[in-house]
A and B are shown apart, each in its own frame.
Chain A
Amino acid sequence: MPIRLDIVTPERLAYSDDVDEVVCPGIEGELGILPHHAPLLTTLGLGALKIRKDGEDTFFAIAGGFLQVRPDRVVVMAETAELGSEIDLERAERAREEAGRTLEAVELEPEDLARARARLQKALLRIRVAERHRREGPRHHG
């Protein structure tokens, strides 16, 4: 029995389909949701979200989110959700280098430091998700 998964962001409905399993980046570690999960409400961290459907995996890079599990459906509310196949790996690499350079600067206001760190983390996540998509994405399963 599949479960309904919706991923919504303020700017769009990023995903809506029946799936077999969802693995979310919970704040206290990975969180796998299978059908008939108990009702759950939790905050999500910055991380990769994996969707398994018909033996194929799809990846999303998500940030700033919540997860609501009801008996018949799972809803992920995230500030941003990017599909692995849509991530521009080169742009993410550039963003990582840029954030890295900013962090190397000696004098940084605490605020700038936090911002650069957040940017770096986000770039790293996007790279990770894009690479996982290449490695484990639908194409390689058949």
Chain B
Amino acid sequence: MATQREIRRRIASVRNIKQITRAMQFVAASKLKRAQDATLAARPYSDKLEEVLADVASVLGGEEHPLLAQREGQRRCLVVFTTDRPLAGALNANVVRFSAREIVEHPGELAVVAVGRKGRDALRRMRVPIAAFFLNFGDRPSFADVLPLARLITDDYLAGTYDRIDLIFPRFISTLIQRPELERLLPIRPSTDTRGIPGNQFIFEPDPGAVLEQLLPRYVAIRVYQAVLESAASEQSSRMVAMKNATENAEDLIEDLTLTYNKVRQANITREMIEIASGAQAL
């Protein structure tokens, strides 16, 4: 059995770990609030853009723009969103497993654009071809931050490198649940809901095609931005829960160790008593 001093030392180190995990839990909780607010704040813009796209598409029909046209080819690109930093529970493992299943179930020409260090490293170990990666969007990603990513995949799509682009990201459902989801990014399938006013009643300045030309890249960017925000919120909530569990485990461990410590201490006292008693008897 371990000595008293060894056990004391372990208790001290578990207590240190507990302090760290508790601090991380509280930091994640406050960041989660901000991340959730940012996700909600992006919604009006993306809803409106979706609506305008429906208006324009109802006038132009589906095949007016290369970003709208369905293609015959099967070359796919998956944009996989994970975190840069570890200690976020099972979040990254779930996203990577989900991506791996998607890749295995749909064999064919494929490349991955990885957002986040953890996903990039995991997929690279699985020998999945990584076409590009983006790191360090941070805890408060701005719309401008994601523009290079959106531009890259749009350009690759227009250049014909891929025929289809999907996003895989952890959707923030609640503090306890974040579910990996696949969303089709390109080609864009506009909604057909024009909210009461048929698109053809609108006056377009300068013309529907020009509006569409401006609209589509921004629509792609906001979809990517939303995926970034969703995964940021998922990261914080997953980390918060993971750290809460870690803190509780540390408490249990401290309790167990304290019990062991007391037992060892008692055993030592008893042994010493016996030694003294038997020593006295020998005299």
Contact = CB atoms under 8 A, between A and B. Distances in A.
B167 interface: no
B277 interface: no
A42 B204 contact: yes
Contacts of B203: 38-41
Interface string A59-87: 00000101010100001010100000000
Interface string B33-75: 0000010011011101101100110000000000000000000
B143 interface: yes
B205 interface: yes
A111 to B, nearest CB: 13
A110 interface: no
Interface residues of B, number: 30
A118 interface: no
Given A40-B202, A42-B211, A43-B205, A64 B218 contact: yes
Nearest to A12: B41
Nearest to B203: A40
A28 interface: yes
B206 interface: yes
B268 interface: no
B191 interface: no
Contact of A13 (B41, B56, B204): B41
Interface in A42-61: 42-43
How big is chain A's contact interface, by range? 20 to 34
Nearest to B210: A43
Contacts of B225: 10
B282 interface: no
Contacts of B38: 11
B143 A43 contact: no
Given A10-B222, A11-B38, A11-B41, A39 B48 contact: no
A83 to B, nearest CB: 16
A66 B214 contact: yes
Contact of B55 (A27, A38, A41, A43): A41
Contact of A77 (B52, B55, B56): B52
Contacts of A12: 41
B3 interface: no
Contact of A41 (B44, B143, B205, B221): B205
Contacts of B222: 10
Interface string B129-148: 00000000000001100000
A131 interface: no
B200 to A, nearest CB: 10
Contacts of A64: 218
A43 B52 CA distance: 11
A25 interface: no
A75 B202 CA distance: 14
Contact of B44 (A8, A38, A39): A8
B232 to A, nearest CB: 13
B23 interface: no
A39 B199 CA distance: 9
A66 B211 contact: yes
A26 B205 contact: yes
B52 A41 contact: yes
A13 B206 CA distance: 26
Given A8-B45, A79-B218, 7 more contacts: A6-B48, A10-B45, A10-B221, A10-B222, A41-B55, A41-B211, A64-B218
20 contacts: A9-B143, A10-B46, A10-B143, A10-B225, A11-B38, A11-B143, A28-B205, A39-B201, A40-B204, A41-B52, A41-B208, A42-B211, A66-B52, A66-B214, A70-B197, A75-B48, A77-B45, A77-B49, A77-B52, A79-B143
